[in-house]
A and B are shown apart, each in its own frame.
Chain A
Amino acid sequence: MSTDAKEVMVEVRRVTKTFDEFTAVSDVSLEIRAGEFITLLGPSGCGKTTLLRMISGFETPTQGQIFIAGQDVTHDPPYRRDANQVFQSYALFPHMTVKENIGFGLRMKKVPKSEAQERVREAIAMVSLGGMEDRKPSQLSGGQRQRVALARAIVCRPKVLLLDEPLSALDAKLRHAMQVELKHLQQKLGITFVFVTHDQEEALTMSDRIAVINQGKVEQLGDATAIYHQPKTTFVANFIGQANILEGRVVSRAGRKVTLRLEGGPEVTLLADDLPDDATTAMISVRPEKILIRKQREESDNVFEAEIAEEIFKGATDQLMLRTPGGLELWAVVANESARQATVHKGDKVFCHLHFDDIVVVQGN
């Protein structure tokens, strides 16, 4: 083993999966640490579910290997893997009661009856389903079914729990509550969670680390703040939160400090670590909320003028479209601090301030 088995719970090693002509997962390597909550985030069809299904054993990689707790399980069937899955549709057994559903895995593993009963009781308590033991899935609400699906998997005490968009069928309010609950549960149990979702907010809320997946490849792997603040590609910048993706020519360079002239806009200076020395152009990402808007010029790393071309009321925030004299358009977000004294409005001429750190060089896709 090249990696320490104690540290790494699941290792995906150079895995490729093709279906006929279509490559769903393309040479992906990923190390998932024991006890972490990792999210595979990406748009539908990006390969995240296929990757999950290769870990659970429902798909076999075309190339590459999968290890769980140091063991090569690439060709093991799902029923011989120490991984359990929570399905998007929950897939509860309709003819069994809540108790029977949750106890199914223990029955298959031939856990002694008294121990199984105790563990089922514990699991039911853990997901707050007390009093529902003898109900059938059809007599439960969506949220309750979700909890049964969760309890049915965790009662087996798997080394890794795989969750395939388990919250997507719930309404927004319940989904938020379950996000927090799932995170707490994961911390309490210490089980490694691999969570698949296309919902960036969900990923940011729960994950220790996020793997952003696009077209069968991991675009970026990192914790939520790194993914959000230092996106490496335009895809990551656009997929997680909002971003202004701007292109500029390199006009001067002094060590890490690079000055770009943006297309149709002002010059901005930023700190670029991974821009190649011979680069003549660069693509940058600027988060809308990082643009500080003032009526007066203030001291800052970058200051440029703009006019507010559009103002969209979004409740807690206002979304502003800024247009520079040169015609560059970019979005900014300001907090609606007080309804009575909104500071800037459509048509106002303003000064935009940008910190070095808030300008990130990204690679195009």
Chain B
Amino acid sequence: MARKLSGMRLLNLLLGGWSGLVFLFLYIPIVLLIVYSFNASKMAIVWEGFSFKWYTALGREALDHVSGTKRSPLVESAINSVTIASIVTVFSVILGTAGAWLLYRYKFPALRSITTLVYIPMIIPEIIMGISLLIFFKAMSLTLGFTTVIISHITFCFPFVLIAVQARLAGVDPALEEAAMDLGATPMKALFLVMVPYMMPAIISGGLMAFTLSLDEVIVTYFTRGPTSETLPLRVYGLAKVGLSPILNTISAVFIVVTVALTVAAESVKGLNK
């Protein structure tokens, strides 16, 4: 018994060590990036001491842009990104929730194939998605810009909302909706007063996922953007090609913090079962 136990302990130790290594490998670059965002040096990868100066510089640039003193393409792209992500989130939430409800409420022969079709934009390579959307927009003679970027983002963001809501509905007690109707609620009232609140944790976490995905997106945006609709990731990508400036570390650090915060929020809302 004792030997068996120590064998188990050894296995646990090995597993723990391995998991530790995996996490180190995953997160050391990100930690480094955040550390270097406090670097006093002008060179992005040479450590010269701790400083907030790049954060101050970034802050000043943002203030100048907002007050109109000095236009900053960087800050403008950040505003673009947030605007696009917000609009994408709203549409994704509506489409995704409505879609999940449709698939839950109505059982029809093509149900399975439709569900699969919904998943495809999530797994299709982004480069193919970008090219196909570009061809589509050209064929429709749409001018590339905000609208095309937003449509593209909705295409791959709304399935995340749909899947989150679908998962929540899979566990719902069918009597819940019946109870509402039994108490005098019309199907519409039952939906909005009982079922939507029931779906809400999934809607919120799906929406946060959609926001994060839209905010980070590079490849599809690259194909579908117009001259005035450059997003922050694309701007950063462009700057990185010219050379690694410490301000890139700073923006990236801010970006990581926002993304992580949203993801954590999405996960914790998902955990708010019932």
Contact = CB atoms under 8 A, between A and B. Distances in A.
B184 A156 contact: yes
Given A95-B198, A138-B274, A108 B184 contact: yes
Interface in B144-182: 173, 175-176, 178-182
Contact of B175 (A87, A94, A108): A87
Given A105-B184, A108-B189, 8 more contacts: A93-B180, A93-B194, A94-B198, A94-B274, A104-B183, A137-B274, A153-B183, A156-B184
A210 B165 CA distance: 43
Interface string A94-127: 1100000000110011000000000000000000
Interface string B182-194: 1111100100011
B197 interface: yes
Interface string A76-89: 01110001110111
Most buried by A among B175, B178, B183, B186: B183
B79 interface: no
B90 interface: no
Interface of B: 173, 175-176, 178-186, 189, 193-194, 197-198, 200, 274
Nearest to B175: A91
Interface string A32-61: 000000000000000000000000111000
Contact of A79 (B184, B193, B194): B184
B179 A93 contact: yes
Interface of A: 56-58, 77-79, 83-85, 87-89, 91-95, 104-105, 108-109, 137-138, 152-153, 156
A192 to B, nearest CB: 16
Contacts of B197: 93, 95
B217 to A, nearest CB: 33
B182 A84 contact: yes
B20 to A, nearest CB: 36
Contacts of A78: 178, 181-182
5 contacts: A79-B185, A89-B173, A152-B179, A153-B182, A156-B184
A184 B197 CA distance: 36
Contacts of A87: 175, 178-179
A103 to B, nearest CB: 10
Interface pairs A-B: 6 shortest CB-CB = A108-B184, A105-B183, A91-B175, A91-B179, A95-B197, A87-B175
Contacts of B182: 56-58, 78-79, 83-85, 153
B178 A58 contact: yes
Contacts of A92: 179
Contacts of B189: 108
Given A108-B189, A138-B274, A91 B178 contact: yes
Contacts of B180: 93, 104
A143 B209 CA distance: 39
Contacts of A84: 182-183
Contacts of B274: 94, 137-138
Contacts of A156: 183-184
B176 A152 contact: no
B173 A91 contact: yes
Contacts of B198: 93-95
A232 to B, nearest CB: 34
Contacts of A93: 176, 179-180, 194, 197-198
A108 B176 contact: no
A20 to B, nearest CB: 14
Nearest to A94: B274
B66 to A, nearest CB: 39
Nearest to A87: B175
A88 B175 contact: yes
A89 B178 CA distance: 12
Contacts of B194: 93
Contacts of A91: 173, 175-176, 178-179
A58 B184 CA distance: 13
Contacts of B173: 89, 91
B183 A108 contact: yes
